[in-house]
Amino acid sequence: MVRKGFCFWLDEEIVNRFKNFVLAKCGYNLHAYGNEVERAMEHYMRNPSSANTHTFAHDVLSMKVTNRLEKVFLTLKYNCPFDGPTDDDLYEAIGEVAGRDDRTFWKYRRLLLANGYLKIQRHEWRPMLSGNGIKSKSKRFFIYDWGPKAELVKEAEK
């Protein structure tokens, strides 16, 4: 069997633990590290369910984003206590907490909808005004309703 070099980056602590494991098992041997990695890879490919390391990290929000999401929601709730917020209200609340940028607006809007803080009640078309006050084209304007998570927050405050 032809052996081929393979280079990758690993956590330093894991590398040190692996070195200690191989030294305890095999003693000092130049090929022992490669042999152990090779065995682990073969085991993983033979039994993929026994080595499942998928963490669903793409579904987990960081604590920073979660805190900002809650701040946006509380700002919205404070500014619109009875009616559901509109796009303008949402843009203002997100702008106060996370910054006034279109990409930030769409990101936090998507997160608020996906996490149950808001749901879309209806939308309507409104004309957009250019800098000189002339109507140029229409834009879809959303009106939101409080989502199921918002109801839970309201009940917890009572």
pLDDT tens by residue, 25-65 = 877 777 788 888 888 888 778 876 665 555 545 445 666 77
pLDDT above 80 for 11:
yes
The predicted structure's pLDDT at residue 90: 86
pLDDT above 60 for 93:
yes
User: Of 89-93, 95-99, 117-121, which gets the smallest average pLDDT?
Assistant: 117-121
Q: What is the pLDDT of residues 114-143, one digit of tens each?
A: 888 888 877 777 666 655 666 556 566 677
pLDDT above 60 for 155:
no
The predicted structure's pLDDT at residue 128: 63
Q: Which two tokens stand for residue 30?
A: 């130049």
Do the beta carbons of residue 157 and residue 143 sit within 8 Å?
Answer: no
Helices (H), 27-147: 32-46, 63-79, 87-98, 102-114
